[in-house]
Amino acid sequence: MFKELTPAPEWDVDQWFNSSAPISIASLRGKVIVAGAFQMLCPGCVSHLIPQLKSVRALFPEDKVAVIGLHTVFEHHEAMGPASLKAFLHEYRVPFPVGVDKPSGSSDPSPLTMRRYRMRGTPTLLLIDADGNLRSQTFGHVPDLQLGAEISFLLQERDILARADNGEGAAQNAGCDDSACAVN
Amino acid sequence: MFKELTPAPEWDVDQWFNSSAPISIASLRGKVIVAGAFQMLCPGCVSHLIPQLKSVRALFPEDKVAVIGLHTVFEHHEAMGPASLKAFLHEYRVPFPVGVDKPSGSSDPSPLTMRRYRMRGTPTLLLIDADGNLRSQTFGHVPDLQLGAEISFLLQERDILARADNGEGAAQNAGCDDSACAVN
Amino acid sequence: MFKELTPAPEWDVDQWFNSSAPISIASLRGKVIVAGAFQMLCPGCVSHLIPQLKSVRALFPEDKVAVIGLHTVFEHHEAMGPASLKAFLHEYRVPFPVGVDKPSGSSDPSPLTMRRYRMRGTPTLLLIDADGNLRSQTFGHVPDLQLGAEISFLLQERDILARADNGEGAAQNAGCDDSACAVN
Amino acid sequence: MFKELTPAPEWDVDQWFNSSAPISIASLRGKVIVAGAFQMLCPGCVSHLIPQLKSVRALFPEDKVAVIGLHTVFEHHEAMGPASLKAFLHEYRVPFPVGVDKPSGSSDPSPLTMRRYRMRGTPTLLLIDADGNLRSQTFGHVPDLQLGAEISFLLQERDILARADNGEGAAQNAGCDDSACAVN
């Protein structure tokens, strides 16, 4: 993860699916954010990232972990418009909010959020902590074991900060019941 | 995980492979222990547990996470003796220590450690925290995403306790560099 | 396979990709035809049928086996138009000809070829022999082992008929060199 | 496949499992033989060859295709004796006959059948036609699509020879009902 904490750039999204209202990073403050940038016709996204994001959604509680898809189309724009994306999300039973990254409006085929994060392509996975800092950004596939460990790290770190803010010592409160990733 | 912390029963092992000396739970104090009970002829163990334990060994640092195999033979004893196990470990390139659970010496086909933990069969995955408490025990397959989260939880909890012992506040020290599961 | 040989209905295709000219069943006479009806946003088609058709294309010689895709869109029409299909075929590196099944032009959402074959959905696999007879039609997934056996059956049957037409006995010509599925 | 037909060397088997009587290649005359040479502690054998042989057994009729396992142990002999093999076959639910390749009795660790076939290791797949000729021998993994095609080829070739022996023309008898690999 990044040595210095840097705020995650706000995303620039035109349109949301699976959400009744726009979603900003700021509006998710207090939750760990697992955001996957994908294209609906990118084979690696379809076979690995989308199923992984669905697993994250199923495993971690919604009040602590937000799962977000970002449709960052940088090629074949005519084939991956909102109507196509809507059908894709339906057919692949994607349950989490997905935002359409805003086209650049210039000759650059990459959309705005993608450029802001200097993403190299899709799939790209972003981990943003509960304070809105970008903690990791990975182009390609992150193994489940590693992703689970990273999310859990950010969740527990958050709990520690919360307790510290309350003037409580960490050691006394480190019981398992506070875990976000309940077991057995 | 268990609401109340209970010490993990010490295992009762006859013979070790991939280790020059006997290993006890007590001797691993200070490390999170991921222990997998298996039989070399149990299909689910071979196809899921063993590869998973190898992935855990590859991802987490050895000075913080111990990965241990326990050969808990409760059937076909004549087919899974130490010579067979040795060949199995070689052919499947198992790099972590594996202990042979001690036969009961009675008419009970289940070996001693297996009985002590009241395991229902193989594979069984044990998570033991750095203080030697049994934090979870699962019969069957634990998904990688969940296992990664659980190990990370126990690792960070340990770091918190360590810092508290040092009289340091948690909040100030919650930087990413202390993470056992380094990212990017 | 069907007890009685019935001619495969000609397909009704608007537009072809990966082919410089229209392709009809009649024009493929003399080849065994493996035709897969799919939708680009049907998960089972993407994960199983398309890779399987690519494997068939790679294994069997082009002068004996024709592999054809039929884009039989019966839902989400707005999301799976020709521009979308073109991008899909590019991203998934589909090397064989794919025809767009002609819309019914009526209130029936199913296209003409799909209706003519009374397909129940996608994926559907058609096997058509070298004389243009429909020999099997399967909705869902056909295991590779079975599909390989069926194609080989139709290939060899064809060879037998060819030899019989030449007035040659089968036994003398049943050497392995005539096999379409060369081995080692 | 081999250009010239060569008789498959008879195997040299000490002991059979899943068979009440010894099985020779000669005794299987009239059937296509799919024989897999494996070691119970060979990872590639366990993950690919054994499941594939089980699929072949399930797909093709027993009166036309014989599926045989050969336990060709050339390393770790002490770990893969008959008692171990028996437990392995039970745990992995292997339904077809498995013969134990006879040890060489010399300093050569490879058993007799393995040497006779000059096998390079395990897994090795043998295809033997209904007349006892060795038609292919492959070290490593054969894809299902290819194996299905090869078995079907040998089955149909057999049917042709049978018909020719009866003085019947092939063309008239090439109906689908004679197929060994029934479809739909």
Report the residue of chain D nearest B75, measured CA to CA: D87
- Note the pLDDT tens digit of each residue in B5-46: 899 999 999 899 999 999 999 999 999 999 999 999 999 999
* Mutation site for C-interface testing, chosen from D152, D173, D177 by largest number of C Cβ within 10 Å: D152
**What integer is the mean pLDDT of A115-141?**
97
Alpha helices in D64-173 (DSSP H): 82-91, 112-116, 144-165
Q: Please answer whether residues B125 and B34 qualify as being in contact, where contact means their C-beta atoms are separated by less than 8 angstroms.
A: yes
Report the residue of chain B nearest D78, measured CA to CA: B83
Comparing A49-58, C30-39, C175-184, D123-132, which segment has the lowest mean pLDDT?
Answer: C175-184
Q: Which residues of chain D lie closer than 8 angstroms to C179, CB-CB?
A: 1, 153
Report the residue of chain A nearest C50, measured CA to CA: A43
Comparing C52-61, D84-93, D174-183, which segment has the lowest mean pLDDT?
Answer: D174-183
Token pair 């220590």 in the structure block, residue: B97
Given CB atoms, is D84 within the 8 Å cutoff of chain B?
Answer: yes
3-state secondary structure of D52: helix
Give one DSSP letter per residue of A13-42, joined into a string.
EEEEES-SS---TGGGTTSEEEEEEE-TT-
Q: What is the phi-psi region of residue B66: left when phi exceeds 0, alpha when psi lies from -120 to 50, beta otherwise?
A: beta
Q: Please answer whether residues D13 and D101 qualify as being in contact, where contact means their C-beta atoms are separated by less than 8 angstroms.
A: yes
Question: How far B107 CA sits from the closest chain D CA (Å)?
Answer: 20
Chain B to chain D Cβ contacts (< 8 Å): 49
**What integer is the mean pLDDT of A100-129?**
95
Q: What is the pLDDT of residue C176?
A: 24
In this complex, does chain B touch chain A, defined as having at least 3 beta-carbon pairs under 8 Å apart? yes
Q: Please answer whether residues C36 and C68 qualify as being in contact, where contact means their C-beta atoms are separated by less than 8 angstroms.
A: yes
> Going from the N-terminus, what domains does chain B have, and what CATH number goes with each?
6-143 (3.40.30.10)
CA nearest to A34, candidates A158, A129, A101: A129
Give residue A177's Cα distance to chain centre: 25
CA C126/CA C137 separation, integer angstroms: 5
Q: A91, C76: Cβ pair inside 8 Å? A: yes
Q: Which residues of chain D lie closer than 8 angstroms to B90, CB-CB?
A: 76
Given CB atoms, is A76 within the 8 Å cutoff of chain C?
Answer: yes
Given CB atoms, is B84 within the 8 Å cutoff of chain D?
Answer: yes
C149: its two tokens = 């056996």
* Mutation site for B-interface testing, chosen from D71, D73, D88 by largest number of B Cβ within 10 Å: D88
Q: C56, D145: Cβ pair inside 8 Å? A: yes
* Mutation site for A-interface testing, chosen from B52, B147, B156 by largest number of A Cβ within 10 Å: B156
* Mutation site for A-interface testing, chosen from C41, C42, C80 by largest number of A Cβ within 10 Å: C41
- Note the pLDDT tens digit of each residue in D33-69: 999 999 999 999 999 999 999 999 999 999 999 999 9
Comparing B53-62, B121-130, D117-126, D175-184, which segment has the lowest mean pLDDT?
Answer: D175-184
Length of chain B: 184
**What integer is the mean pLDDT of C91-114?**
95
Q: B80, D91: Cβ pair inside 8 Å? A: no
In this complex, does chain B touch chain C, defined as having at least 3 beta-carbon pairs under 8 Å apart? no
CA nearest to A156, candidates A126, A132, A133, A130: A130
Given CB atoms, is A139 within the 8 Å cutoff of chain C?
Answer: no
Report the residue of chain A nearest C82, measured CA to CA: A79
Q: D91, B46: Cβ pair inside 8 Å? A: no
Length of chain C: 184
* Mutation site for B-interface testing, chosen from D45, D71, D89, D91 by largest number of B Cβ within 10 Å: D91
CA nearest to D159, candidates D170, D150, D146: D170
Q: Select from B78, B83, B91 the Cβ nearest to the Cβ of D42.
A: B91
CA B116/CA A145 separation, integer angstroms: 29
Question: How far A128 CA sits from the closest chain B CA (Å)?
Answer: 13
Residue A141, class by beta-carbon neighbours within 10 Å (0-12 exposed, 13-18 middle, 19+ buried)? middle
Q: Which residues of chain C lie closer than 8 angstroms to D127, CB-CB?
A: 183
B87: DSSP letter: H
Neighbours of C154 (CB within 10 A): 30
CA B156/CA B146 separation, integer angstroms: 15
Q: Select from A43, A79, A88 the Cβ nearest to the Cβ of C92.
A: A43
Give one DSSP letter per residue of A57-104, joined into a string.
HHHS-TTTEEEEEEE---S-GGGSSHHHHHHHHHHTT--S-EEEEPP-
Q: What is the pLDDT of residue A164?
A: 54
Contact map slice: B 33-72 vs D, CB within 8 A: 41-43, 46-47
Neighbours of A49 (CB within 10 A): 22
CA D124/CA D49 separation, integer angstroms: 9
CA D90/CA B80 separation, integer angstroms: 13
Q: What is the pLDDT of residue D160?
A: 66
**What integer is the mean pLDDT of A128-136?**
97
What are φ and ψ of residue D65, in 5° steps? -125, 125
Given CB atoms, is C153 within the 8 Å cutoff of chain D?
Answer: yes
Q: Select from D149, D164, D174 the Cβ nearest to the Cβ of C157.
A: D174
Q: Which residues of chain A lie closer than 8 angstroms to C90, CB-CB?
A: 76
CA A101/CA A86 separation, integer angstroms: 14
C68 has pLDDT over 60: yes
Comparing A24-38, A65-79, C154-168, which segment has the lowest mean pLDDT?
Answer: C154-168
Strands of the sheet containing A124-128, edge to edge, are A6-7, A133-139, A124-128, A32-38, A65-71, A98-101, A13-17
Question: How far C128 CA sits from the closest chain A CA (Å)?
Answer: 30
Q: Please answer whether residues A38 and A138 qualify as being in contact, where contact means their C-beta atoms are separated by less than 8 angstroms.
A: no
Given CB atoms, is C171 within the 8 Å cutoff of chain A?
Answer: no
Q: What is the pLDDT of residue B163?
A: 57
Q: What is the pLDDT of residue B157?
A: 86
Question: How far D42 CA sits from the closest chain C CA (Å)?
Answer: 23
Q: Which residues of chain A lie closer than 8 angstroms to C84, CB-CB?
A: 41, 78-80, 84
- Note the pLDDT tens digit of each residue in A23-48: 999 999 999 999 999 999 999 999 99
CA A116/CA B112 separation, integer angstroms: 59
Q: What percent of chain A has pLDDT over 70?
A: 85
Q: B76, D91: Cβ pair inside 8 Å? A: yes
B157: its two tokens = 């909890």
